[in-house]
């Protein structure tokens, strides 16, 4: 497998660009990037949600076998898809892939789409805030990047029903942990922005940035089954420290009374934000 800074397509990867988006001369205010695998249950809702503020979306499909590619390719806001046909399952390859796939998408966006801003998202996230108007504002002109404050949603005893395909994921769960991460998800194309290292969610961006928007993260709370599958994924494919040990201890404990960090849970809103605790 290519290294994390090699942005050429591998033999198992194919770039597909829709004719309606190819060779467009107009510079798009915002192009969104995502890497997905077997996200068919939530992907249509995800793409509809992101399309509310993104002008174009580029998807990396990492060897899905559940209809993810068809959903992505059919969506009117998806401009292109990288289709990877071979799943690489070693720990080293998974750590490389986290960075390389996002860097490849960024390189494709710069080569084929005239974006002013980029937004990197995951399928299990929902965003609160007027991102569309921000990237068109004079405020955006003064910043190089924006961090989004992410809170985890939790399954609780009174709210344990699984997510049902076709429903809106935004506000799906009632309770969230107060722990947050400020993740650089939105940044300007300035010629030096790039992905580097292993397991990189955030790009390296030079310049001023602020925390401006919120994110509801459902990676721990789509269903009890999905929780246990997530635990198994990190135990199997990622190093024991810091990933495997933490997730092995969480298996079978999808239903929460308190957060994974031992804090009280709160409904989405002012009390949650007022009690917010930063985590690394």
CB 20 within 8 A of CB 90: no
Given this model, what pLDDT does residue 269 score? 97
Q: Which residue has the higher pLDDT, 4 or 56?
A: 56
* Span 130-170, pLDDT tens digits: 999 999 999 999 999 999 999 999 999 999 999 999 999 99
For the cut 80, the answer to whether the pLDDT of residue 84 exceeds it is: yes
- Provide the token pair at 145: 């990047």
Q: What is residue 206's predicted lDDT score, i.e. its pLDDT?
A: 95
Is the pLDDT at 75 greater than 60, yes or no? yes
Pairing of strands 28-36, 78-84: unpaired
From CA 211, how far away is CA 127, in angstroms rounded? 13
Which pair of structure tokens corresponds to residue 6? Answer: 């090699």
Residue-by-residue DSSP string for the chain: ---TT--SPPTTEEEEE-TTTTT--SPEEEEEEEEESS-HHHHHHHHHHHTTT-SEEEEEEES--SSHHHHHHH-TTEEEEEEE-----SHHHHHHHHHHHHHHHHHHHHHHS-EEEEEE--TTEEEES-HHHHTTSHHHHT-SEEEEEEEEEEEETTB-PPP-TTS--TT-SSEEEEEEEEEEEEEE--S--B--SSS--SPB--S-EEEEEEEEE-TTTS-HHHHHHHHHHHHHHS-IIIIIHHHHHHTT--EESS-TTSPPPEETTHHHHHT-EE--
- For the stretch 248-280, pLDDT in tens is 988 899 999 999 999 999 999 999 999 999 997
pLDDT at position 3 is 56
Q: How confident is the model at residue 233 (pLDDT cuts 50, 70, 90)?
A: confident
Query: pLDDT tens for residues 160-196?
Result: 999 999 999 999 999 999 999 999 999 999 888 999 9
13-34 pLDDT per residue, tens: 999 999 877 666 566 799 999 9
Q: Does the pLDDT of residue 4 top 70, yes or no?
A: no
Residue 201 has pLDDT above 60, yes or no: yes
pLDDT, residue 20, reads 75
> Would the pLDDT of 91 be above 80?
no
pLDDT over threshold 90, residue 90 = no
pLDDT surpassing 60 at residue 76: yes
Cβ atoms of residues 30 and 117 within 8 Å = yes
d(CA 117, CA 124) in angstroms, rounded, equals 21
Q: pLDDT value at position 126? A: 98
Strand partners for 216? 126, 151
| C-alpha radius of gyration, the chain, whole number | 18
* Summary mean pLDDT of the chain: 92
Q: How far is CA 200 from CA 97, 148, 254, in A?
A: 9, 16, 26
Half-sphere exposure of residue 163, counting CA atoms within 13 Å on the CB side? 29
CA 275/CA 177 separation, integer angstroms: 10
For residue 102, count other CB atoms closer than 10 A to its CB: 22
Residue-wise burial string across 233-262, b where 16 or more C-beta atoms lie within 10 A, e elsewhere: ebbebbeeeebbeebeebeeebebeebbee
pLDDT at 235: 87
Mean pLDDT value across residues 88-102: 85
- Taking alpha carbons only, the member of 33, 40, 85, 43 closest to residue 62 is 85
| Cα–Cα distance measured from residue 69 to residue 60, given in angstroms and rounded to the nearest whole number | 9
For range 73-83, the mean pLDDT: 96
Position 71 scores a pLDDT of 98
User: pLDDT at residue 222 above 90?
Assistant: yes
């Amino acid at each position: 497998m290519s290294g994390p800074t090699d942005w050429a397509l591998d033999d198992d990867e194919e770039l597909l660009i829709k004719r309606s988006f190819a060779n467009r001369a107009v510079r798009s205010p915002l192009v969104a990037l995502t890497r997905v695998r077997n996200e068919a249950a939530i992907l249509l809702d995800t793409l509809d949600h992101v399309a509310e503020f993104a002008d174009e979306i580029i998807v990396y499909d990492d060897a899905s076998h559940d209809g993810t590619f068809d959903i992505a390719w059919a969506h009117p806001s998806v401009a292109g898809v990288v289709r990877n046909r071979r799943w690489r399952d070693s720990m080293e390859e998974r750590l490389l892939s986290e960075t390389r796939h996002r860097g490849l998408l960024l390189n494709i966006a710069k080569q084929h789409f005239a974006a002013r801003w980029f937004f990197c998202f995951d399928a299990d996230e929902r965003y609160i805030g007027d991102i569309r108007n921000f990237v068109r504002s004079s405020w955006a002109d003064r910043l190089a990047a924006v961090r989004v404050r992410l809170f985890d949603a939790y399954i609780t005893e009174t709210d344990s029903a699984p997510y049902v395909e076709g429903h809106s994921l935004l506000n799906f769960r009632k309770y969230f942990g107060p722990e947050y991460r400020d993740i650089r998800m939105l940044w300007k194309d300035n010629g030096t922005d790039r992905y580097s290292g292993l397991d990189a969610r955030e790009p390296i961006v030079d310049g001023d940035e602020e925390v401006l928007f919120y994110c509801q993260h459902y990676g721990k709370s789509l269903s009890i089954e999905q929780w246990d599958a997530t635990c198994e994924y990190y135990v199997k494919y990622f190093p024991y420290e810091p990933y495997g040990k933490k997730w092995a201890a969480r298996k079978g404990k999808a239903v929460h009374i308190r957060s994974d960090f031992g804090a009280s849970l709160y409904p989405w809103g002012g009390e949650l934000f007022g009690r917010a605790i930063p985590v690394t």
